Structure 1
Amino acid sequence: MTPPAASPGRWSDLDRPPLNASALRRALLRPGGLWTSLDIVESTGSTNSDLSAKAPGLPEGAVLVAEEQTAGRGRLDRDWSAPARSGLFLSVLLKPDVPVQRWGWLPLLTGVAAATGLARAAGTDFSLKWPNDLLVKVGGEERKAGGILAERVGDDGVVIGIGINVTLREDELPVPGAGSLALADAISTDRDPLLRALLRSLEDWYGTWRAANGDPHASRLQEMYAAGCSTLGLKVRAELPGDRTLIGEAVAVDGDGRLVVTTPDGKDHPIGAGDIIHLRPGG
């Protein structure tokens, strides 16, 4: 007797297979390596919130991945959500033994690592929008396909959340003007090798930065970030804390990871926090 066919469920999209947890662990967890554990959950509100709650009892290098994230958070408490298995939604726990004043480089370091690792694995170019957005080109237009959120946990830890849109179609995008690897015509949208590439690149960059005691110049992090940052050279509007606004040209990323904006009066303004809008000529 033939059993009845299973009804299609939320996990049955054959174009979006689940991540292979055991294969990922075999590839990424090794003695002496950065990554010490890798857990995958089917669905959660926020991997950053979950990992932050567990962080006090975990060693550095814990990785939490969700197949679906229903209440993901970006900068400025913006929502970050996407269909199940349509992207990479993960958080990692780092405990950097470098001067705490250099920890502000961690989101930028993660951006460089994600952009370089994913570019190789996906076969598509990424650029960085200061401070934490990953952009791809869709039809010649730069669109946000990923974001990074770093949160301090306790006295010695930082949880870094990473969200990457992988197979989202135009009608699934969370906001108009967003992007995905699929829309950028990536050669590969297989999430297993993409996740391996991202975490290996992050391990390499973090190790180099840590070996340089967090020095962004000696580790070449400042140089690499500037080379990949599409914000530099553009006219921007900076929306700053306290309802302040600044308009000028983004000219550099300084040694503290701040964006330096030169206003029309010739003054340089280092910006450590704020929302940056790329303006078109005449904008």
Structure 2
Amino acid sequence: MTPRDGSDVHDNPWSDLDRPPLNGTGLRRSLVRDGGLWSSVEVVPATGSTNTDLVARAAAGTADEGAVLIAEEQSAGRGRLDRRWSAPPRSGLFFSVLLKPGEHEVPVARWGWLPLLTGVAVATALSSTAGVDTALKWPNDLLVTVGDEERKAGGILAEASGGGGVVVGVGLNVSLRADELPVPGAGSLALAGAKVVDREPVLRAVLRSFERWYVQWCAAEGDPGLSGLQETYAAGCATLGRSVRAMLPGERELVGEAVAIDADGRLVIASDAGREAVGAGDIVHLRPA
């Protein structure tokens, strides 16, 4: 049977009727337009990592800003600290986008806001389209509530690419069932009670939301205050106001209360030694005593 986007899929794309394949032609028709951010949309049946593939294309000069690469299945998806991300075919959204903020006069010093911008865009889209409240764990996790438990349903990874670009990848569990969870603490939109688990309207909403935020941010030359990004991220950040443990480079550990997101997108932690802005590290939300 020919899949809806006309691509060659090695397995029967309708083997799981609850998980139909994405319609690449329809996505291109609805997202690619003159003057818009998205320049191309491609759906592939499987790959190791959409980020790796798109970084390579950017380095080779074969991808323009606004290129979107989506995989129905990833075998070597990566998160921060090179953690692996995998899920059954067509159970989630696994995609990467190529951005060139320097062409919009955004200083390199502000590019660190891109993962946070992506989180805001995804959370905003999921709230309006799927009816799921998505919280943001600094710096790149997407959290949903399953029962009364906070669980990770998605992640974001930004990587520099050739030609002054940045590739931002998103992995989001959509229809993943309880018996398919890679780890007990994982979640999905379906498990969180989403009213929509059809990936196409969810993906369209996410990419349109991303375009709005990215254009607004670039128009402000990456200023997180003028663009409204800093305030919106802080409002949706589940890390703020929590006791946290930050595992920092050099095997250093910092325990305290997460009190703010500063103008550089860093997490400000108040501890007995004072306040410290953390730009990189692994954050653990500590349970209340």
Q: TM-score range by the shorter chain?
A: over 0.9
Choose which of 41, 60, 82 in structure 2 pairs with 1:77: 82
What CA distance in whole angstroms lies between the structure 2 residues aligned with 1:9 and 1:17?
10
1:25-174 paired onto structure 2 within 5 Å = 25-55=28-58, 56-96=61-101, 97=104, 98-174=106-182
| Contact in 1 for aligned 2:55/2:162 (Cα 8 Å) | no
User: 1:21: which partner in 2?
Assistant: 24
Unaligned segments of structure 1, at least 5 residues = 1-7
User: 2:6: which partner in 1?
Assistant: none
Greater shift after overlay, 56-65 or 26-35? Answer: 56-65
| Contact in 1 for aligned 2:46/2:72 (Cα 8 Å) | yes
SS in 2 for 1:180: coil
Report whether the alignment pairs 1:209 with 2:217.
yes
User: 2:288: which partner in 1?
Assistant: 281
Letter in 2 for 1:88: L
User: 1:191: which partner in 2?
Assistant: 199
Shift of 1:171: 1.2
User: 2:275: which partner in 1?
Assistant: 268
SS in 1 for 2:136: strand
Shift of 1:118: 1.6
User: 2:15: which partner in 1?
Assistant: 12
Choose which of 213, 235, 247 in structure 2 pairs with 1:239: 247
Alignment RMSD (CA, Å): 1.0
Shift of 1:11: 4.9
What CA distance in whole angstroms lies between the structure 1 residues aligned with 2:163 and 2:264?
20
What CA distance in whole angstroms lies between the structure 2 residues aligned with 1:225 and 1:87?
24
User: 2:3: which partner in 1?
Assistant: none
- Please give the per-residue CA displacement for 1:53-98, whole angstroms capped at 9, x wherever unaligned: 0013221000000000010000000000000000000000000021
Shift of 1:156: 1.3
- Please give the per-residue CA displacement for 1:90-134, whole angstroms capped at 9, x wherever unaligned: 000000021010000000000000100121111111000000000
Unaligned segments of structure 2, at least 5 residues = 1-10
Paired-residue identity, %: 69
Shift of 1:10: 6.8
* TM-score (normalised: structure 1): 0.95
Structure 1 ranges of 4+ moved more than 6 A: none
Letter in 2 for 1:238: A
Letter in 2 for 1:275: D
| Contact in 2 for aligned 1:11/1:84 (Cα 8 Å) | no
Shift of 1:140: 1.5
Shift of 1:175: 1.2
Shift of 1:189: 0.2
* TM-score (normalised: structure 2): 0.93
